Chains A and B, each alone.
Chain A
Amino acid sequence: KQEVTQIPAALSVPEGENLVLNCSFTDSAIYNLQWFRQDPGKGLTSLLLIQSSQREQTSGRLNASLDKSSGRSTLYIAASQPGDSATYLCAVPEGNTNAGKSTFGDGTTLTVKP
């Protein structure tokens, strides 16, 4: 059974810092990994999807990397801003099945201080 862990559970940084969020998974036979952002009281918004054949995926100030063999993904946020404050979750779907159920990490809650 896939298990997904995100460390740390919470992170507080001053504005402008570059930071890395971590996601670990136990079963390396994955097809893809998805990073989400959740603002308080809101739903999950997809940030980046990285396929198993990719090493990196970028969107603006965000960069996600994937190392299947070590069971790790990182989300790098450059030049953090107070608007980046949110909870970030990673999810690993069961690929190539008829349902695509996902296992989620518990998330890292990021606070960026002005």
Chain B
Amino acid sequence: NAGVTQTPKFQVLKTGQSMTLQCAQDMNHNSMYWYRQDPGMGLRLIYYSASEGTTDKGEVPNGYNVSRLNKREFSLRLESAAPSQTSVYFCASSYLYSGAGYYEQYFGPGTRLTVT
């Protein structure tokens, strides 16, 4: 199993450019998430998807859009990048142990994005 994979690993954008961050998991998980991590701010949830075909806003959704293309893939799009979106972006997925009601989460390696 590859687990959770993200592409690209690094990206530099100019203000106003657009790009899509790709994420895929091969663990058949229903739930997927996008976080950003900034120094002093911890991990903040941008968007999440409870299942294929559904997406919901997290704590900091402004300036982003997402697509849950299928059960495996969850992409994050920046339509018009701003310097404030310079960050490290992590994709994650989780498995629900339905009998016990708890989730176990797995993370991708991250994408380092710089917007100049």
Please give the residue numbers on chain A whose beta carbons come within 8 Å of chain B beta carbons, in ascending order: 31-32, 34, 36, 41-46, 49, 51-53, 89, 91, 93-96, 98-102, 104-107
Contact = CB atoms under 8 A, between A and B. Distances in A.
B71 to A, nearest CB: 14
Contacts of A91: 105
B61 interface: no
Chain B interface, DSSP helix/strand/loop, else mixed: strand
Contacts of B110: 42-43
B56 interface: yes
B51 interface: yes
Contact of B105 (A41, A46, A96): A46
Given A43-B110, A101-B33, A101-B58, A34 B105 contact: yes
Chain A interface, DSSP helix/strand/loop, else mixed: loop
Contact of B48 (A36, A95, A99, A105): A99
Given A100-B31, A104-B42, A107-B42, A95 B101 contact: yes
B102 A51 contact: yes
Interface of B: 31, 33, 42-43, 45, 48-51, 56, 58, 90, 92, 94, 96, 100-110, 112
A43 B96 contact: no
Contacts of B45: 101-102
Contacts of B90: 43-44
A51 B100 contact: yes
Contacts of B108: 43
Most buried by A among B51, B103, B110: B103
